[in-house]
Structure 1
Amino acid sequence: MPYTPSGFFCDRLIRERERRDGEGSLSKPLRFSGQDFTALRQECLAKKSLFEDDTFPASVESLGYRELGHKSNKVKNIVWRRPKEICENPQFIVGGASRTDICQGDLGDCWLLAAIACLTLNEKLLYRVVPQDQSYSEGYGGIFHFQFWRYGDWVDVVIDDRIPTFNNQLVFTKSAERNEFWSALLEKAYAKLHGSYEALKGGNTTEAMEDFTGGVTEFYEMKEAPKELYKIMKKALERGSMMGCSIDSLVPARFETRTVSGLVKGHAYSVTAVEECKQSQHKASKVRLVRLRNPWGQVEWNGPWSDNSKEWVSLSKGEKDQLQHQSAEDGEFWMSFEDFKKNYTKIEICNLTPDALEDDKIHKWTVSVNEGRWVRGCSAGGCRNYPDTFWTNPQFRLRLLEEDDDSEDNEVACSFVVSLMQKNRRKERKLGANLFTIGFAIYEVPKEMHGNKQHMQKDFFLFNSSKARCKSYINLREVTQRFRLSPGEYVIIPSTYEPHQEGEFILRVFSEKRNTSEEIENRIEADHTVPAPANAGEESEEDQQFRSLFQQIAADVSTMPGRPVSAWGSEMEVTANELKNVLNRVVSKHKDLNTEGFSLECCRSMIALVDMDGTGRLSLQEFRHLWNKIKQWQGIFRHYSSDQAGIINSYEMRNAINDAGFRLNNQLYDIITMRYANEGMNIDFDSFISCLVRLEAMFRAFQAFDQDGTIRLSVLEWLQLTMYA
């Protein structure tokens, strides 16, 4: 994990506050690494110095960690240079940004470059990612910035313009124009976003498409493509959607290898146009054509409708001009739609809004975005194959409120798209992280449970089958699928395939009509049902033993020099260390409780919970009050203890906490698991008691200051509450 638990949750709280203030929107993007482009550029211009980015330095660390790391021979001769050191008259953009400005270098990021090529087809989108207020003349300070959509937020990424070179040539992405640098700088900013250039090696075109647009992607396998695929593709391009395609390579050793026809297997292409043309010698004949671009900037299709093929003779000059046909080894080529379907295995369409591509109407979709987290031992329950833990996954309630306008055959249904995206796996690759295999299932909520925001329990999933689910669990950054269901209330369960896999995700729901989706969060509250102290006639043998022990301790310490006289009169009071001795002597006799013994720190927290007079010690009355609580909690612990092993599985902890009178949300259960579970994801007796003591103490402290569900504290009050707890 990149954060300590406390650091992670503080960071999350800060992000949530920023969103409430409008941060993360297109008009007010988050500052990546806290860098303000405008302020930094002004500072450089005032000092007449060129910006050097210490958050992404011109060093090996920015290049990579394995193949481009310190031990690699590839990096020894790489020199970082600014464009003014590479050529005369460098330009940010020459004659407008176009798809020919993107030529792949020595980095396996064709997936990214295919997406950039698609981006150039829509000026509005392009200049949202590549702000126009930057150049190599006016206001040049060696600093540039780019904007990306990142897991629900727009972020502004600042870089300096030092670029990796070898023999004064760009190592990675370059433009066909030697003095044009926008594409190389865009690649650098995207590398910074993910930690290094090497982190960009290998990927899916849709990943970058979504990061450029905030859109949602739908996949089509050619062998399962709908009959209307040509129409779908044409309408998608008309709407500004971005498209990529590829040819699967079944043999890993033949990855990115050329076929006889000039196409490359295991390689990403951009779809840049779809047209239908009339052939002059066949008056009634029309041909459907697709234009594609190879990010290499070379290596093209050599079959029918390739640059110099005989088929072009059948088109008039006007038709050819309209198609911008030219014979040049630039990586761009045309082919017939039929050959396109035969040769490519998959196509990806990134919709800026997931419009219903299968019909003629353009719909506005409602979008809801939810962030979540799988935490090992608490909310990383795995798929339905693991019924004991599946129910602990994060749950999101979906309400489909209105049916589609175009429902057929009197069918009342709502169209919607569910998109599950795992976060940060590319950035954490250098730490050994790979993409999880992820997916989701959708369950219908019974009418009697509508409006109930409680987490669905294990039995519900044991006795109810899913209403819909993704086609398969897959190890991609994102799993997306379109559904049609009746209006009503549903619960979406996103999960990894295997349990215990920890990571963050974002769940988006797009629907044609009004919908709401939100994480099922129990209302946070506590029932302070304190067991009534037993009277003298009801004392059990164990109670009598405690009274005897307490009196023995009191007698032992009464003669100690300097021992204070109790405010309770002749009765002595028990210190934290004495409480530790009492509890551990009794608990050690219960062989069914797995415990290492209560620590001194835990006993101090217990005293803080019931210490009504602020002495830091317990009277017999306070001691009995505490012990009644411990006995109640001991009964709950025994109920959930697995196989009499004297421990609670961390996944059962939420039920045990609920029985103890506390209703918490998923974030709090995650924190409790991280704080109190051991490496085996189990919680022993003393950790269980420590957790409940802390919960009750903090609830009580909050309620003392509560004003309509919020509290306002000075630094002194905050520290007083948290330090003595």
Structure 2
Amino acid sequence: MGCNSSQPDVQGNGEIPNSTKTADRRVVTDNGSIENGIDVVEVPPDWEWIPEFQGKAVIKPVKREKYLDTKFPPEPGSLFFSRDLNGVEWKRPNELVNDPELEIGGSSRSDVLQGKLGDCWFLSSCAAVAGMQKILDQVIPPNQSLFGEDHKGIVFCRFWRYGDWQPVYVDDTLPTLNSKLVFGHCSDQREFWLPILEKAYAKVHGSYESLEGGKSLDALVDLTGGIAEFYDLHDLASASEETQKAVFDRLVKAMNQQNAFVTSGREGVDVDVEDGLVNGHAYTVTGAAYIPDGQSGQVRLIRVRNPWGNATEWTGAWSDSDERWDQVDPEVKAKIGQTQKADGEFWMSFQDFCSEFRNATVCTLGPDFDEDGTTDPTNDMVLLHGEWVPGKTAGGCQNDFNSYAKNPQYLMKVTETDSGGEICAVLIGLMQKYRRERRKEGITELDIGFTVYKVEDSGRLKGEDLATMSPFMSSGAYTNLREVVANAAFPPGDYIIIPCTYDADQEAQFMIRAYSEKPITITELQ
């Protein structure tokens, strides 16, 4: 049996055009901001402050009026590693506006505006999360002072990093040109949660440049700790009416119940605009609804937002000024929030959405085993960490079974079944670690995947065993996503999970996480 790989598109290669033109504690290579899980925080000596994460931060008093992050300093190296941006001045919010705040009246998707950085994949994810205040407050707690007597110049954020919520501390200096923020910013000039969160995420990855070009499913997981799945919309565009309806119904239910965060991406590298849509760009899906079509049926509509937040919007059917809206009852339009604004947000038919966009990412806060749009209860989650070591445990895919057998192997025991059934639903994710953080070194994501085999014996599988066995399930084609996810219904018994890279002798660290309704055990086989 051979194996194949695929290459999902990367979004965020183009910034908004210029108007005049159990987690392990390995060292994270992010310019030293987090080492062995510990972030060293230097604060003014008179500041009596205890970090929210006991044991995860070291307070080091220094003689300085305001906090200055020595691990991610306001210097050119924190901006770019391959080019220069001249004329940048780092300024604190209270040097830009009077009485700045992290949030003013809470957060919303309309806060998010992209700047001169190709990180739309991250910003579209921020816009998706901004609609659920509880989630955003977990990532960047509110009520941190940016001016006045309580202003110390430090802001605390947290991201879900490989199985654990990691604290990240940054000073509140931000890159500016002519006293205007260079990168992501909020629509209200007095609001700063977005540029500071963007800076903290840049610190985690070593520089702002490391955020250029990416996939929204990574950002959504880091912002929520949830489970993100990647959907090929071109396949869906040609699928049956029944399949399209099932997917759309799942979206409507999930978004109405605030169980999911959804983003979408366009194909292309150059930032060309076609029918108001930007190629090579990531968007936020902000709504889904059925509306009467004025005749005898209903139309499936999707609401989408461009993080540029300007007049660059879809101009086709069901766009803001499309005459089809004249046939829709005003009460229906008010209920779904249809407006005519040059704010980057627009409606389009679900069919056009599937045809015009290349992919969609759906991130749920927990597993959705039956794919009905509702997060299912889980009683068990297992986290394991491992690595592929060239010449030892980096065996590559099934193109060579003897080499493939060298990969790490994990025994999963399923002993109980879900309520009223004969199977146990299990969702498995394989995530490669610390790749974007090393982008300056030329490190990129590898093609990865996993396969599960049902076994009678609990020992390691050998090459001759694997050559004659049929997989019970797999993650599909090998792909360079950071995390691949798949779920299946498992009858009670023993199973072996084999995570691997497509090519042999690729060095990397990985994490496996598994969710199930009933308790399961997963242990590494030696």
Structure 1's 475 and 14: CA in aligned 2 closer, same or farther, altered over 3 A? closer
1:479 pairs, out of 481, 484, 503, with: 484
Structure 1's 360 and 93: CA in aligned 2 closer, same or farther, altered over 3 A? closer
Q: Distance in 2 between matches of 1:46 and 1:493?
A: 49
Alignment match, 1:296: 308
Q: Distance in 1 between matches of 2:434 and 2:291?
A: 45
Alignment match, 1:720: none
Matched residue of 2:479: which SS? coil
Q: Distance in 1 between matches of 2:71 and 2:171?
A: 10
Q: Percent same amino acid among aligned pairs?
A: 36
Q: Distance in 1 between matches of 2:47 and 2:520?
A: 43
Structure 1's 348 and 188: CA in aligned 2 closer, same or farther, altered over 3 A? same
Task: State the TM-score, normalizing by the size of structure 2.
Answer: 0.84
| Cα distance, 1:116 vs structure 2 | 0.2
Q: Distance in 2 between matches of 1:230 and 1:377?
A: 46
2:132 pairs, out of 122, 143, 154, with: 122
Q: Is the contact between residue 41 and residue 51 of structure 1 (CA under 8 Å) also seen in structure 2? A: no
Amino acid at match of 2:303: R
Q: Distance in 2 between matches of 1:205 and 1:39?
A: 40
Alignment match, 2:331: 318
Alignment match, 1:135: 145
Structure 1's 65 and 87: CA in aligned 2 closer, same or farther, altered over 3 A? same
Name the count of aligned residue pairs: 475
Amino acid at match of 1:291: R
Alignment match, 1:507: 512
1:376 pairs, out of 385, 390, 404, with: 390
Task: State the TM-score, normalizing by the size of structure 1.
Answer: 0.62
Q: Distance in 2 between matches of 1:425 and 1:106?
A: 24
Alignment match, 2:377: 364
| Cα distance, 1:457 vs structure 2 | 3.4
Structure 1's 312 and 467: CA in aligned 2 closer, same or farther, altered over 3 A? same
Q: Is the contact between residue 31 and residue 157 of structure 1 (CA under 8 Å) also seen in structure 2? A: no
Amino acid at match of 2:67: F
Q: Distance in 1 between matches of 2:65 and 2:518?
A: 54
1:492 pairs, out of 479, 485, 497, with: 497
| Cα distance, 1:307 vs structure 2 | 1.6
Q: Distance in 2 between matches of 1:40 and 1:517?
A: 49
Q: Is the contact between residue 400 and residue 516 of structure 1 (CA under 8 Å) also seen in structure 2? A: yes
Amino acid at match of 2:283: Y
Q: Is the contact between residue 102 and residue 143 of structure 2 (CA under 8 Å) also seen in structure 1? A: no
Q: Report matched runs for 1:211-610 at 5 Å.
A: 211-225=222-236, 226-227=243-244, 228-237=246-255, 238-249=257-268, 252=269, 255-259=270-274, 261-278=275-292, 281-282=294-295, 284-298=296-310, 299-359=312-372, 363-365=376-378, 366-405=380-419, 412-446=422-456, 449=457, 452=458, 454-520=459-525, 522=526
Matched residue of 1:15: which SS? coil
Unpaired stretches in structure 2, ≥5 consecutive residues:
1-21, 27-35, 50-59, 237-242
1:62 pairs, out of 51, 54, 78, with: 78
Q: Which has the higher helix share?
A: 1
| Cα distance, 1:374 vs structure 2 | 0.8
Q: Is the contact between residue 236 and residue 357 of structure 1 (CA under 8 Å) also seen in structure 2? A: no
Q: Distance in 2 between matches of 1:504 and 1:140?
A: 40
Are 1:106 and 2:116 matched, yes or no? yes
1:50 pairs, out of 42, 66, 76, with: 66
Aligned-residue CA RMSD in angstroms? 2.6
Q: Is the contact between residue 318 and residue 349 of structure 2 (CA under 8 Å) also seen in structure 1? A: yes
Structure 1's 272 and 32: CA in aligned 2 closer, same or farther, altered over 3 A? farther
149-158 vs 370-379, greater mean Cα deviation: 370-379
| Cα distance, 1:78 vs structure 2 | 1.3
Q: Distance in 1 between matches of 2:172 and 2:143?
A: 15
354-363 vs 185-194, greater mean Cα deviation: 354-363
Q: Distance in 2 between matches of 1:369 and 1:286?
A: 44
Alignment match, 1:599: none
Amino acid at match of 1:342: S
Amino acid at match of 1:348: T
| Cα distance, 1:265 vs structure 2 | 2.0
| Cα distance, 1:417 vs structure 2 | 2.0
| Cα distance, 1:362 vs structure 2 | 5.0
Structure 1's 307 and 40: CA in aligned 2 closer, same or farther, altered over 3 A? farther
Unpaired stretches in structure 1, ≥5 consecutive residues:
1-11, 17-29, 523-725
Q: Is the contact between residue 222 and residue 344 of structure 1 (CA under 8 Å) also seen in structure 2? A: yes
Q: Distance in 2 between matches of 1:46 and 1:289?
A: 56
Matched residue of 2:476: which SS? coil
Larger radius of gyration: 1
